[in-house]
């Protein structure tokens, strides 16, 4: 209101006569009154650079008066709000940008392109400053944004340190730098000979000063980094080597690395060191640890590299890696995983990531780590030179829940692992193992509500495990994170509503669905619809001491008690049948416990039983240790499918069959063994029963659901 009245009076009679005293008085009045206005931002100057038509003798402040060389740009110290625009399609050979000056908060200095066509290309070749080469360097500056450039050095004969973009703090000018954004760059074919080279490199360095550099507000977004030695994208501090420096865990704050494609990198893909709560998301890495054809010294250096990983952290707290993809990471003698909680990584998370075909397995956990979480990730056919999970001794607590480990190849190493110090907690995971390999049991690990399916010769001590087919929609078909719908659970999956509640679970599943929809599901998918519980059609545990409702044919039948009551058949002569139910039943699940009472015997479940001449049967056969599926039509009994299964007389085994339309799925001991589709006419009847031939057996806990 005060400002409005002053302007009003000025218009009334004193235009242009606001004296110095009046200004001072107004400012003082404003401060006293608590009135403030927006701080004006400097507009800055826009400079144009055109490699073909420009001239360094021009002003550079218009397209018609553009500069020509990057050397001219390097000679200027820029101010807040300035813009340096490089003409699209321009090529600067054997030149580089060495940028000077700092922007201000809300008023950064920007490098970008103008015009249409290809991104401006900086080919810095074999040029060097202080013994190292770079396409763009930002040294001891703040508030810069670098956008829309192409950078390369090509295959050069001289060995030295090279980077596509080098952001460095060093020497007397080092300090706390802010707001460095690197976006939409195409960086390729850059080769150096040590760990401080690569595509995009943030580096706090200097061995002879106690004034170390730190950074805050870093964005590395939507870049491509391809065919680079050593590392694709990294943050690094010499605090690891200088005892006078203190920022080993927080040299970099507010780091976001998002949407980058990092491919054919000769060591690590994305490496975040000394960072506080960095966010690494929506990145894709491929062919990490890939060799290249460059000069002999670099080849020899690469051959000395023994360990690589795709996307990982070191000396970092509170990191989140999410929505990333990693594939074809090479091992090179060690590691080779897509994901890695490395040394001194704490309170960090990998979530919603997809990995496939990585040589070293899925997750590495190094020593001196603690309280890290691996959740809602999918691993598809990661190779297993180190096992799926590799927990180095000396690590702390690790929480692994609601992941999918899918293996269909020749993997043969351990699917789970433990350290010798901290605890590993495996909960609500799906291990779909069509390969081989064992599960680790250790006092340093627990299992709860996991799904184990496939070749499991040593299933862990999980009191709530499920060992049948998890019921994926279409497993093994994903080609990337966006095509992973095949790992959703079908409505018939036994894992729906079968999981355990995990506190602090992140609030959503791999596909973005909220958690939970009722009782948690096992795996990465939380079903969002309404699950109708099955209707029980029939149930009998014989605890009433009789077999009322059952019809028998042949054999000698009675209810006996050997600690639990069961229907027992004791004649060794000929065929013995017992059946019950409704002839109108057709599509249902039938389960029961079976115990063979004699060696080399057989006994099994009858289903869709019409009469003694027409039915299906799923049985155990101690002769040959088999589970066998039969169809009997017009009195002719034909085996249609079989699988190996260890049969032990005197031991209860749960058998289950699900019949739906023309498809029969059969389970023994909680594991799916057979699935067969009948292409001929199916029996119209639907009763259930028990059959054996020249054998004695018991049946208990009969249940039919629809």
When pLDDT is cut at 50, 70 and 90, the band that residue 305 belongs to is low
pLDDT of residue 437: 85
Decide which of 688 and 40 is more confident.
Answer: 688
pLDDT of residue 40: 37
Mean pLDDT of 342-362: 97
Question: How many whole angstroms separate alpha carbon 671 and alpha carbon 315?
Answer: 43
When pLDDT is cut at 50, 70 and 90, the band that residue 457 belongs to is low
Secondary-structure breakdown of the chain: helix, strand, coil percentages, each rounded to the nearest 5: 10, 40, 50
Question: How many whole angstroms separate alpha carbon 470 and alpha carbon 472?
Answer: 6
When pLDDT is cut at 50, 70 and 90, the band that residue 301 belongs to is low
Decide which of 293 and 140 is more confident.
Answer: 140
Q: Which of 102, 82, 272 is nearest to 178 (CA)?
A: 102
When pLDDT is cut at 50, 70 and 90, the band that residue 436 belongs to is confident
Mean pLDDT of 693-700: 97
**Is the pLDDT confidence value at 72 over 70?**
yes
Listed range (332-336, 591-595, 633-637, 648-652) with the worst mean pLDDT: 332-336
**Is the pLDDT confidence value at 45 over 60?**
yes
Answer whether 451's CB lies under 8 Å from 465's CB. yes
**Is the pLDDT confidence value at 403 over 60?**
yes
pLDDT of residue 307: 76
- Could you read off the pLDDT of 271-287 as tens digits, one per residue? 999 999 999 999 999 99
65 DSSP β-pair partners: none
Q: Which of 228, 250, 255 is nearest to 237 (CA)?
A: 250
Angstrom CA distances, 284 to 189, 271, 292, 513, stand at 18, 13, 20, 23
**Is the pLDDT confidence value at 269 over 50?**
yes
Listed range (145-154, 239-248, 599-608) with the worst mean pLDDT: 239-248
CA distance between the termini of the chain: 75
**Is the pLDDT confidence value at 1 over 80?**
no
pLDDT of residue 300: 54
pLDDT of residue 306: 60
**Is the pLDDT confidence value at 150 over 80?**
yes
- The H or E element that residue 27 is part of is helix 20-33
For 573, residues 6+ apart whose C-beta sits below 8 A from its C-beta are 555, 694
**Is the pLDDT confidence value at 38 over 60?**
no
Half-sphere CA count of 290, side-chain side, radius 13 A: 20
**Is the pLDDT confidence value at 18 over 60?**
no
pLDDT of residue 42: 53
pLDDT of residue 292: 55
- Could you read off the pLDDT of 662-686 as tens digits, one per residue? 999 998 987 778 889 999 988 777 9
Mean pLDDT of 614-630: 96
Q: Which of 668, 676, 671, 667 is nearest to 638 (CA)?
A: 676
When pLDDT is cut at 50, 70 and 90, the band that residue 4 belongs to is very low
Neighbouring C-beta atoms of residue 443, cutoff 10 Å: 8
**Is the pLDDT confidence value at 304 over 90?**
no
**Is the pLDDT confidence value at 26 over 70?**
no
List the helix and strand counts (H, then E) for the chain: 4, 55
> What torsion do the CA atoms of 685, 691, 694, 696 make, to the nearest 10 degrees?
-160
> What torsion do the CA atoms of 673, 669, 648, 620 make, to the nearest 10 degrees?
-40
Mean pLDDT of 244-257: 96
Mean of the per-residue pLDDT values of the chain = 89
Decide which of 379 and 192 is more confident.
Answer: 379
**Is the pLDDT confidence value at 536 over 90?**
yes
458 token code pair: 């040593």
Mean pLDDT of 486-503: 94
When pLDDT is cut at 50, 70 and 90, the band that residue 646 belongs to is very high
Q: What percent of the chain has pLDDT over 70?
A: 91
pLDDT of residue 7: 29
Mean pLDDT of 599-616: 96
Q: Which of 496, 526, 522 is nearest to 511 (CA)?
A: 526
Mean pLDDT of 464-482: 92
When pLDDT is cut at 50, 70 and 90, the band that residue 176 belongs to is very high
pLDDT of residue 294: 53
Listed range (19-33, 160-174, 320-334, 682-696) with the worst mean pLDDT: 19-33
């Amino acid at each position: 209101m005060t400002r409005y009245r002053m302007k009003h009076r000025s218009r009334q009679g004193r235009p242009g006569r606001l004296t110095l005293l009046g200004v001072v008085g107004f400012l003082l009045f404003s401060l006293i009154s608590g009135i403030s206005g927006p701080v004006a931002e400097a507009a800055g100057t826009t400079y144009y650079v055109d490699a073909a038509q420009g001239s360094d003798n021009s002003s550079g402040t218009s397209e018609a008066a553009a500069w020509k060389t990057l050397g001219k740009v390097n000679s200027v110290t820029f101010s807040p709000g300035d813009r340096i625009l490089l003409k699209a399609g321009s090529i600067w050979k054997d030149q580089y940008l060495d940028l000077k000056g700092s922007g201000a908060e809300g008023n950064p200095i920007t490098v970008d392109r103008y015009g249409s066509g290809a991104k401006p290309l900086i080919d810095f070749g074999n040029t060097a400053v202080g013994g190292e080469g770079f396409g763009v360097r930002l040294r001891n500056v703040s508030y810069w944004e670098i956008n829309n450039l192409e950078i390369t050095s090509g295959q050069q004969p001289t060995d030295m340190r090279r980077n596509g973009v080098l952001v460095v703090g060093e020497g007397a000018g080092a300090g706390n730098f802010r707001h460095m954004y690197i976006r939409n760059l195409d960086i390729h074919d850059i080769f150096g000979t040590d760990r401080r080279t690569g595509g995009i490199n943030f580096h706090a360095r200097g061995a002879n000063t106690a004034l170390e550099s730190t950074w805050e507000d870093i964005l590395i977004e939507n870049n491509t980094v391809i065919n680079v030695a050593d590392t694709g994208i990294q943050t690094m501090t010499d605090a690891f080597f200088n005892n006078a420096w203190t920022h080993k865990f927080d040299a970099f704050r507010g780091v976001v690395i998002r949407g980058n494609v990092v491919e054919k990198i000769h060591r690590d893909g994305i490496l975040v060191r000394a960072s506080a709560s960095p966010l690494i998301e929506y990145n894709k890495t491929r062919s990490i640890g890939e060799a290249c054809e460059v000069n002999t010294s670099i080849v020899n250096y690469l051959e000395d590299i023994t360990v690589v990983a795709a996307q990982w952290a070191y000396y970092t707290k509170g990191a989140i890696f999410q929505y990333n993809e990693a594939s074809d990471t090479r091992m090179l003698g060690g590691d080779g995983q897509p994901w890695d909680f490395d040394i001194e990584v704490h309170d960090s998370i990998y979530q919603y990531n997809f990995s496939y075909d990585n040589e070293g397995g899925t997750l590495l956990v190094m020593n001196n780590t603690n309280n890290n979480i691996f959740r809602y990730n999918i691993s598809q056919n990661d190779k297993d030179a180190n096992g799926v999970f590799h927990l180095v001794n000396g690590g702390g607590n690790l929480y692994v829940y609601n992941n999918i480990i899918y293996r269909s190849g020749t993997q043969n190493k351990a699917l789970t692992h433990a350290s010798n110090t901290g605890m590993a907690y495996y909960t609500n995971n799906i291990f779909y193992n069509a390969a081989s390999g064992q599960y680790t049991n250790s006092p340093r690990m627990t299992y709860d509500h996991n799904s184990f399916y496939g070749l499991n010769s040593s299933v862990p001590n999980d009191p709530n495990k499920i060992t049948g087919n998890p019921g994926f929609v279409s497993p093994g078909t994903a080609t990337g994170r966006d095509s992973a719908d095949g790992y959703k659970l079908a409505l018939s999956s036994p894992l729906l509503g079968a999981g355990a509640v995990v506190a602090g679970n992140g609030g959503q599943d791999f596909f973005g669905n909220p958690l939970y929809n009722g009782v948690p599901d096992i795996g990465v998918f939380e079903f969002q619809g309404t699950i109708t519980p099955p209707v029980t059609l029939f149930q009998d545990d014989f605890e009433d001491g009789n077999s009322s409702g059952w019809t028998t044919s042949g054999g000698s039948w009675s209810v006996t008690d050997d600690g639990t009551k069961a229907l027992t058949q004791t004649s060794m002569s000929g065929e013995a049948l017992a059946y019950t139910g409704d002839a109108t039943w057709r599509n249902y699940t039938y389960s029961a416990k079976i115990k063979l009472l004699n060696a080399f015997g057989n006994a099994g479940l009858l289903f869709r039983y019409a009469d003694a001449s027409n039915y299906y049967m799923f049985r155990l056969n101690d002769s040959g240790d088999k589970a066998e599926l039969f169809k009997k039509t017009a009195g002719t009994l034909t085996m249609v499918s079989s699988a190996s299964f260890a049969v032990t007389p005197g031991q209860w085994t749960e058998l289950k069959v699900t019949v739906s339309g023309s498809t029969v799925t059969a389970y023994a001991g909680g594991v799916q063994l057979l699935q067969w589709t009948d292409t001929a006419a199916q029996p119209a009847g639907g009763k259930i029963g028990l059959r054996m031939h020249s054998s004695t057996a018991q049946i208990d806990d009969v249940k039919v659901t629809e």
